[in-house]
Amino acid sequence: MRIARIATPTGPQAVLAEGDRWLAIDDPFADQPIPTGATWAQEDVRLLAPVEPRVVLGMLHNSGPADRALAPQAFLKSARTVVGPGAAIVVDPRRGQVMAECELALVVGRPCRNVSVADAPAFVWGWTIGNDVTAVDQTAADETRTQAKNGDGFTPLGPWVETDLAALDVALTAAVDGVEAVASSTAALAWNPFEALSHLSGHLTLGPGDVILTGAPGTAFAITPGVEATCAVAGIGVLSNPVHTLEVTP
């Protein structure tokens, strides 16, 4: 299934794709979401971030097989950094170089704590594209990554959630203004998404809509104000966001 959130005159609405239309649904996390009757042509809607997570985690040291020699770790990102397709990534020029990272994002489907790797797939609602934007010059100043990971618009998600995806080997590509910048696959991750979910659920409870950015296996690329950053994940689609400059008051 393909599930999204769209903007409507009465507020955000969860929808299910059927042909060339979006069907309104009450509970997107239900095993079989039930349409409520309202429908929209897909080309007529504005897509929002497909989920509203309470918790966003990003896997650290997950950029290649050699990282498996390290203990698995993760950082927290503010849920306020989450934006949808077409929303701006806002760069503060005082904070130095900014990199985008094309990643497969795991979306949790039900309460999850101390889950084994074998059982982890049962707790996954689906998958979306994540862009883990990072002010890389800030990492040396803050080992918790708070300064590096939490700028406005630093976690684009979308364009929708695919509930069925063979997540262990899917292609990841990214482009700047339409020119390919990087290409890789989730097969290159040191810790696969189910291992990541198992590890993280051993330390905190995750719930429906929470997001794990699974890692950037060679998918980081530089961005600057004025460009369009595009991330693509095979089997899901394309997520594009413009890069703007933060207006700083003198």
Q: 178-223, pLDDT tens digit by residue?
A: 999 999 999 999 999 999 999 999 999 999 999 999 999 999 999 9
What confidence tens digit (pLDDT) does each residue in 154-183 have?
Answer: 999 999 999 999 999 999 999 999 999 999
Does the pLDDT value for residue 249 go beyond 80? no
Q: Which residues pair with 54 in a beta bridge?
A: none
* Cα dihedral value 23, 166, 233, 194, nearest 10: 100
- What value does the mean pLDDT take over residues 73-93? 97
Does the pLDDT value for residue 250 go beyond 90? no
The reported pLDDT for the residue numbered 240 is: 98
What confidence tens digit (pLDDT) does each residue in 111-162 have?
Answer: 999 999 999 999 999 999 999 999 999 999 998 999 999 999 999 999 999 9
User: Structure pTM?
Assistant: 0.96
- What value does the mean pLDDT take over residues 10-28? 97
Q: Is 139 helix (H, G, I), strand (E, B) or coil?
A: helix
Residue 27, Cβ density class (10 Å: 0-12 exposed, 13-18 middle, ≥19 buried): exposed
C-alpha dist (Å) from residue 188 to 64, 103, 193: 5, 12, 11
